[in-house]
Chain A
């Protein structure tokens, strides 16, 4: 039985899709069969970040409505074995997603995959609710900024009450926080919330801190998951996060301003 992981945040533009792509790629590189699903029906993005936008024939909604089967819609990643992408539909709206349909697709994927990553749309409407509903684990992406933290708090409340696990009274969804676009310099100047501030408000386990980095935008534009960029700080931070996700203990890096030797080693 696969583990279903939702990547969610409430607020838009904080790095959900970047994180979904990085975590899915990281899990696959670690040898786990992984599928990543874009739940943002109508605003297809994941395929761009994954660099497979020209290979999309059928999508998630086609599978739900029975116009295609899962094997026709799944796109196998060319760089990493064990990784498949199920893109969202660009032409439909979110009402095309049904709970029964999503459940059926997830069940079918569970036969073949170890991990299923659900890339949630922003907000707390239907698409986001369905992406979270069947989750076993959640990665809540936040930026060190008050409105993002507030929205993440709201989403954590939903994960604790509106998911299948909550409704059945099973063990709760395992929630972990990924703090993205972190800039130690700006924290030092008091322009940004610190990791400690965010953790104190959200009171949830920290999966990783991703530094603000030009590498993220460059990788997105090139259609390469940033985790594959070994030489960049953001890539390494995602590698650490995936290792922690798989149970490895790693110290948090990139929490203080890079200086001297380290600065040269990691670049900027």
Chain B
């Protein structure tokens, strides 16, 4: 069993390659279960049958369950997002009223707003919305991504620490600006 649920933007390419790799070694692939829509599409293109796609959701059940239903397409998280947790606002904005710890990941199809310190990873516009932005009160992120254009901490580490900033896409370049 191979878990592809955590694959990000490169997922589709990886799936096609993995399918070829496994078949070349005589392994039979039974099918694909669960994953982002782009992954599921890629899987069917690679000739893999889909199992149980109706249940597909990248949001961990724990997170989904502990939060109220999204209002107007956005998801509001009142607790800190801790290491190892992942929160995904499908089809809308994500608003985190607390901090995002190192090793945690927050994703949204729309904007990501963080009213505490961002120490983990934040990905806005994960289904390709290049207008999506990330806002946070203190930027110490491990990774920032808007519509698949990402930067890791090494590339921006001195920018945005200790002050409110926004992150947006300017012609395929990620820009970090103080608010």
A and B form one complex: yes
Q: Which residues of A contact B (CB under 8 A)?
A: 150-151, 153-154, 156-158, 160-162, 166, 169, 200-201, 203
User: What are 17 residue pairs bridging A and B, where the CB atoms are less than 8 Å apart in the complex?
Assistant: A150-B101, A151-B83, A153-B82, A153-B101, A153-B102, A154-B83, A154-B84, A156-B80, A160-B66, A161-B62, A161-B63, A161-B66, A161-B85, A162-B62, A166-B62, A203-B98, A203-B116
Say whether A160 contacts B79, CB under 8 Å.
yes
Residues of B within 8 A of A150 (CB): 83, 101-103
B99 CB within 8 Å of chain A: yes
Question: A150-B102, A150-B103, A203-B98 in contact; A157/B66 too (CB < 8 A)?
Answer: no
Main secondary structure of the interface of A (DSSP, over half): helix
Docked pose: A182 CA to B98 CA in angstroms:
27
Which listed residue, B84, B98, B102, B117, touches A157 by the CB 8 Å rule?
B84
Q: A166-B66, A201-B119 are in contact. Are A157 and B99 (CB under 8 A)?
A: no
Q: Which residues of A contact B62 (CB under 8 A)?
A: 161-162, 166
Count of chain B residues near A, Cβ 8 A: 20
Q: Which 7 A-B pairs have the closest CB atoms?
A: A157-B82, A161-B62, A153-B83, A154-B83, A154-B84, A153-B101, A157-B85
- Which residue in chain A gives the minimum CB-CB distance to B119? A201
- CB nearest to B61 among chain A residues: A161
Chain A hits for B119, CB < 8 A:
201
State whether B101 touches A201 (Cβ < 8 A): yes
| A160 to B98 CA separation, bound complex (whole angstroms) | 15
B78 to chain A, nearest CB (A): 11
Smallest distance from the beta carbon of B138 to chain A beta carbons, Å?
A: 10
Known: A156-B80, A161-B85, A203-B98. 5 other contacts (CB 8 A): A154-B103, A157-B82, A158-B84, A160-B79, A169-B65
Contacts of B66 in A (CB 8 A): 160-161, 166
In the complex, which of the residues B82, B103, B119 has the most CB atoms of chain A within 10 Å of its own CB atom? B82
> Would you list which residues of chain B between 62 and 110 have a CB under 8 Å from chain A?
62-63, 65-66, 79-80, 82-85, 98-99, 101-104
CB-CB under 8 A from B63, the residues of chain A are: 161
